[in-house]
């Protein structure tokens, strides 16, 4: 199975799901965070980034488009992208998106992946967050392709 649904009842619960996810991520993984404004993408990202960087503040790179978190003793570097304000393919080039993915030397975490247009990476974990009331969120994980490298993350989070 390559999909998994988890429901959280608070931002704290979403963050802690992120921390469990973060511990499963490896260099070269690409995680796309899909959901409307206020869905909880950055909240989940905070958990993922905090997995090995306790106390490091995480803000959404809304204006810079990308924030870099260097590798730690036992975790790869992480590139946190927020493409909400992306203007087009030129912006994507200036971030060096394709190179980031191709280099495979860090984790690439993307808010607003729909801004990538049709040029999605070949392999990724898609996380869709959907509000269900003020504090409930349905969080769906799906590995693409279903038998690709990201399937192990779905299996790991389910166990």
Query: Contact positions toward Mg ion, by CB under 5 A?
Result: 41-42, 60, 111
Show Cβ contacts of residue 62 under 8 Å, excluding neighbours closer than 6 positions. Answer: 82, 84, 85
Q: Is 37 helix (H, G, I), strand (E, B) or coil?
A: coil
CB of 49 to ligand ADP, least distance (A): 12
CB of 129 to ligand ADP, least distance (A): 7
Contact (Cβ atoms closer than 8 angstroms) between residue 129 and residue 41? yes
d(CA 63, CA 78): 18
Query: Which residue sits closest to ligand ADP, CB atoms considered?
Result: 40
Q: Which two tokens stand for residue 57?
A: 């503040």
Q: Which of 21, 30, 39, 101 binds ligand ADP (CB under 6 A)?
A: 39
**Comparison of 43 and 67: residue with beta carbon closer to ligand ADP:** 43
CB of 2 to Mg ion, least distance (A): 25
Q: Cis omega (within 30 of 0) on the bond before 145?
A: yes
Q: Is 3 helix (H, G, I), strand (E, B) or coil?
A: strand
CB of 67 to Mg ion, least distance (A): 12
Q: Which of 35, 61, 106, 113 binds ligand ADP (CB under 6 A)?
A: 35
Q: Does 10 bind ligand ADP (CB under 6 A)?
A: yes
Q: Does 123 bind ligand ADP (CB under 6 A)?
A: no
Contact (Cβ atoms closer than 8 angstroms) between residue 29 and residue 59? no
The single-letter DSSP state of residue 8 is E
d(CA 114, CA 53): 28
Q: Does 135 bind ligand ADP (CB under 6 A)?
A: yes
The one segment of 31-39, 96-104, 116-124, 147-155 that binds ligand ADP by CB under 6 A = 31-39
**Chain residues in the site for ligand ADP (CB under 6 A):** 8-11, 13-14, 35, 37-43, 60, 111, 135, 137
């Amino acid at each position: 199975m390559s999909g998994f649904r988890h429901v959280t009842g608070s931002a704290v619960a979403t963050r802690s799901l992120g921390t469990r996810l973060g511990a499963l991520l490896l260099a070269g993984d690409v995680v796309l965070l899909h959901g409307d404004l206020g869905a909880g993408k950055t909240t989940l990202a905070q958990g993922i980034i905090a997995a090995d960087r306790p106390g490091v503040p995480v803000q959404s790179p809304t204006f810079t488009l990308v924030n870099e978190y260097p590798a730690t003793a036992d975790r790869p570097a992480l590139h946190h992208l927020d493409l909400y304000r992306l203007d087009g393919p030129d912006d994507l080039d200036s971030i060096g998106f394709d190179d980031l993915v191709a280099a495979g030397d860090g984790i690439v975490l993307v808010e607003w992946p729909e801004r990538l247009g049709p040029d999605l990476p070949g392999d990724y974990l898609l996380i869709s967050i959907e509000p269900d009331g003020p504090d409930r969120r349905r969080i769906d994980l799906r590995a693409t392709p279903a038998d690709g490298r990201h399937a192990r993350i779905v299996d790991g989070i389910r166990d």
